[in-house]
Structure formats: C-alpha cells, structure tokens
C-alpha cells in the first residue's frame, strides 16, 4: 500500500498541495488547533515597541489563533489568508473588531503597501513562504523601526539520546504519559515508520529554533534577532489528538486507507497507555527589527 499514491512526484507540487490543504479542513482546524500563551503576546507588544493602535500585517492568520489576542489589545490588523474557507471563519471569529480586515489572498500575490505597518506577524505560517520572497516583501511593508514577529508551537520531543532539553519529561499526576516519554514517543515513531515512513516527527525544539534564527539572520534585512520561549502543555485523549492530526497537511494528504490505518494505530497506542497523554510544547517568539537599510 503506497502512502503517497495520490501525490505528485515533484517537491514543489507537493509543497503547493500541502500549503493549500488546510482550507479543506477549516472547521476542524478552528476547533483543534491550539493558540499561544498570553504572556507571549504581552512580550510581543512590549518588546516590539508597537504604538497603541498600531497597524499589523498578519501573514496566514488561519482562523484567528493569533489574530484575536492582538485585536483584543486594540491593534489594527490586516490578515492575508490563502484559503477562502479559512478566511470566512477568521472574519466570523473577529467580527466584533472593526479594525481587523481579513483578505482572501496569498501573501505572495498581495500588492505590498510600502512602509505601512508597525509589525508583520506570521504564526505557524512563515515556513510556507519562500525565504527570499518572505523576507524581502516583509521588509518592504514595514515602517522604519518596525519589526517582524514569527511565532511557532514547537512540539517538545526527545533528541537522539532520548533527552528532552526544553522541559524534561512531563507527566500529569497519575498514569498519563507524555509525548516526551521516550517509550511513548518510540511507539508513535514506530507507527509512522511502518505505515507512513515519509512522515517525520519533526526535530527537537532547539534545533528548529536555531534553523529559523539562522534564516532571519541570513536574510540581512532584520536584526538583531531575539528569541523568547514559553513552555506549555496540554492533555490529549485519542479523539482530541486524532482531531488535531486531521488538520496537519502531511496527514490530510495521505491516501485514505493509509491515513485510517495510522489513526487506528495511534488510537490503540494511546488506549494502551492509559487513554490520554501530555503533549509538551515550546511556544517560541522570534522578534527582529527591520534594519535601517532593509
């Protein structure tokens, strides 16, 4: 059984399919995708120096996971969302905020408003934009003294030695294991190796953080780059975790029989380990001011 039977062979085409896959599961995305810790947004406002009522450009707002906390803080937001269904849901979720506008367009297709924004934000979205395009267009849109803010929730998984450097092994009171528990993680990894070997369970947070930091520095348009970490965790039942996986692009594009087999195996793994597990995450804020020559 081929996991990739329905996917094109060229990487660029696969990337485009994955980038557009979220719109097919917009409602599931709205229900299942987590937001980000409130202290992250407090620090973003304080450290960026964005003025009261300042203007924010958000790349790929999804259904508003990061848009809503900033709208509540009184900022004007222009969100550029590729998916039509995602854009409609985001407008609905932000309907009480007249200073928020969500446009159904790709960031790459949007006519840049030069030096019009105090802050450009992308929350779990900037990796879908080619670095050269994303950095250059962002710098053009920012005012002098404005900043680029990138946010991700990096899942805290063991490194190759089995060590979890960010938070250490996490366990709720009782018998609920953590994703960072090497035995539970190894069971999950074995499922993918057997059923969907092209899906990799990411990298430990610090490796992903360094990769993103280097991209920002390498652009030559932003700096210095400040990185702030906000560890948090959530408990997942099998149903809740499968709901989250359905919004992941690499899972949604699996051939249906393979996807069902993966979900069934994961459900059994969670059931065999007490019916729930803890998913530790390191929410990360990258904040970089536009350089004077950017």
pLDDT per position in the chain (294 positions), as tens?
444 444 545 666 666 777 778 888 999 999 999 999 999 999 999 999 999 999 999 999 999 999 999 999 999 999 999 999 999 999 999 999 999 999 999 999 999 999 999 999 999 999 889 878 999 999 999 999 999 999 999 999 866 544 444 544 444 445 567 887 888 889 999 999 999 998 988 788 999 999 999 999 999 999 899 999 999 999 999 999 999 999 998 998 899 999 999 999 999 999 999 899 999 999 999 999 999 875
Asked whether residue 3 is domain-assigned, the answer is: no
Instruction: Please give the span between the terminal C-alpha atoms of the chain, in angstroms, as a whole number.
Output: 50
Task: Give backbone dihedrals phi and psi of 70, rounded to 5 degrees, phi first.
Answer: -80, -35
- Which pTM does this prediction carry? 0.89
Tokens 């990769």 -> residue: 211
> 57 has which bridge partners?
78, 120
Q: For residue 229, is it within any domain?
A: yes
**Which residue, 80, 84, 66, is CA-closest to 24?**
84
Q: Domain for residue 67, yes or no?
A: yes
- Tell me whether residue 1 is in a domain: no
Considering the domain boundaries, does residue 134 fall inside one? yes
Question: H helices within 4-156, ranges in order?
Answer: 11-20, 26-32, 38-48, 67-72, 84-93, 131-141
Axis-axis angle for helices 182-195, 256-272 (nearest 10) = 160
CATH of the domain at 132: 3.40.50.150
Backbone angles phi, psi at 184, to 5 degrees: -70, -45
Confirm whether 230 is domain-assigned: yes
Contact assessment for residue 119 and residue 47, using Cβ atoms and an 8 Å cutoff: no
Do the domain assignments include residue 2?
no
**Count of domains for the chain:** 1
Q: d(Cα 264, Cα 245) in Å, to the nearest integer?
A: 12
In a domain? residue 79: yes
Nearest-5° Cα angle at 74, 68 to 79: 50
* Contact by Cβ (8 Å): 221, 230: no
Segments forming the whole domain that contains residue 198: 11-289
Tokens at 215, concatenated: 């991209």
């Amino acid at each position: 059984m081929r996991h990739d039977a329905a996917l094109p062979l060229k990487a660029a085409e696969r990337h485009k399919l994955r980038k557009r896959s979220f719109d097919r599961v917009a409602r599931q995305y709205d229900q299942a995708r987590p937001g980000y810790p409130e202290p992250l947004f407090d620090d973003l406002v304080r450290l960026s120096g964005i003025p009261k009522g300042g203007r924010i450009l958000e790349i790929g707002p999804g259904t508003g996971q990061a848009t809503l906390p900033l709208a509540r803080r009184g900022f004007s937001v222009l969100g550029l969302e590729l998916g039509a269904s995602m854009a409609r849901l985001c407008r609905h979720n932000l309907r009480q905020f007249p200073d928020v506008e969500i446009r159904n367009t790709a960031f790459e297709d949007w006519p840049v408003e030069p030096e019009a924004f105090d802050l450009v934000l992308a929350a779990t979205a900037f990796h879908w934009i080619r670095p050269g395009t994303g950095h250059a267009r962002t710098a053009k849109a920012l005012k002098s003294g404005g900043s680029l803010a990138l946010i991700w929730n990096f899942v805290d998984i063991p490194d190759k030695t089995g060590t979890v450097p960010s938070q250490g092994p996490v366990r709720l009171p009782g018998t609920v294991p953590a994703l960072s528990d090497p035995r539970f993680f190894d069971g999950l990894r074995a499922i993918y190796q057997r059923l969907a070997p092209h899906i990799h369970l990411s990298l430990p947070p610090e490796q992903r953080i360094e990769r993103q930091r280097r991209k920002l520095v390498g652009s030559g348009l932003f700096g210095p780059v400040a990185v702030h970490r906000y560890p948090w965790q959530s408990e997942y039942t099998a149903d809740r975790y499968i709901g989250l996986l359905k919004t992941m692009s690499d899972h949604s594009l699996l051939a249906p029989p393979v996807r069902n087999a993966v979900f069934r195996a994961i459900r059994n793994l969670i059931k065999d380990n007490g019916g729930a597990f803890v998913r530790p995450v390191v929410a990360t804020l990258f904040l970089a001011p536009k350089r004077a020559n950017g």
